[in-house]
């Protein structure tokens, strides 16, 4: 495998599958199969999941929610998703631990870098829920922060798109895909891969990002095997 320790960022929206919200058992099982296959090869895997399939703090602001309360509700949504993925992994015989950035025993253990590394070394997939535990920070920022903390070699951003394009490929049929791109070029072109806080954290700490399509089963294995799918963002 190309990487020995990774931070995998999963989209909350992807977990809803073809529904408008909620959790798709089919998507969860597909993700669990892919993650389990890689965990069995000895790759250490940390995971951060968004919560947009249940509640997104920013969208709540437009409906009258206080921003801080809305973001806190979004943090709880990420923990629901973390528990769902843990359950899917365990149903396939893959040991998994949920750590939370907010004290929430017995739902999950309180996150620390040392505990995450200890569990990964013991062969567990470690799912870190609750975002950064702070309002105004996205789960993109949480994934960048946790990736840096656990000393991951790469941040894998699993999305419904197969990489980074010159423009939105769903809106612009002439958009072309990058195989590799630098952080600075992403800034200069104004491309939206992650929010700027997360993106800057990765650049400052030299954590490369691979954007790839997680919804096509088998792609996670291809990325970890070093196949040139998706887009690599690096210094």
- Please report the DSSP string for 78-136 in residue order: HHHHHHHHHHHHHHTT--EEEEESS-BTTTBEEP-HHHHHHHHHTT-EEEEESTTSSTT
Residue 99 has pLDDT above 90, yes or no: yes
Residue 131 has pLDDT above 80, yes or no: yes
Residue 193 has pLDDT above 90, yes or no: no
What's the pLDDT score for residue 59? 66
Residue 58 has pLDDT above 70, yes or no: no
What's the pLDDT tens digit per position in 66-75? 889 989 999 9
Look at residue 27 and give its three-state secondary structure: helix
Query: Does domain 5-234 match CATH 3.90.1150.10?
Result: no
Residue 175 has pLDDT above 70, yes or no: yes
Average pLDDT over residues 202-221: 96
């Amino acid at each position: 495998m190309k990487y020995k320790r990774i931070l995998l960022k999963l989209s909350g929206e992807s977990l809803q599958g073809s529904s408008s919200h909620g959790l798709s058992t089919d998507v969860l099982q597909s993700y669990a199969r892919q993650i389990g296959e890689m965990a069995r090869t000895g790759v250490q895997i940390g995971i951060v999941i968004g919560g947009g399939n249940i509640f997104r703090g920013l969208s709540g602001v437009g409906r009258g929610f206080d921003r801080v309360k809305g973001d806190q509700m979004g943090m709880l949504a990420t923990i629901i998703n973390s528990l769902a993925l843990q359950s899917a992994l365990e149903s396939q015989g893959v040991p998994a631990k949920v750590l939370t950035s907010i004290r929430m025993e017995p739902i999950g253990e309180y996150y620390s870098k040392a505990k995450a590394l200890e569990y990964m070394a013991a062969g567990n997939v470690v799912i870190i829920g609750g975002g950064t535990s702070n309002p105004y920070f996205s789960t993109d920022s949480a994934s960048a922060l946790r990736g840096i903390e656990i000393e991951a070699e790469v941040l894998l951003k699993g999305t419904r798109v197969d990489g980074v394009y010159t423009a939105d490929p769903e809106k612009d049929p002439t958009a072309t895909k990058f195989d590799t791109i630098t952080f600075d070029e992403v800034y200069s072109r104004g491309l939206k891969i992650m929010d700027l806080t997360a993106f800057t954290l990765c650049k400052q700490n030299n954590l490369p990002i691979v954007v790839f399509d997680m919804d096509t089963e088998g792609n996670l294995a291809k990325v970890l095997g070093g196949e040139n799918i998706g887009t690599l963002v690096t210094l």
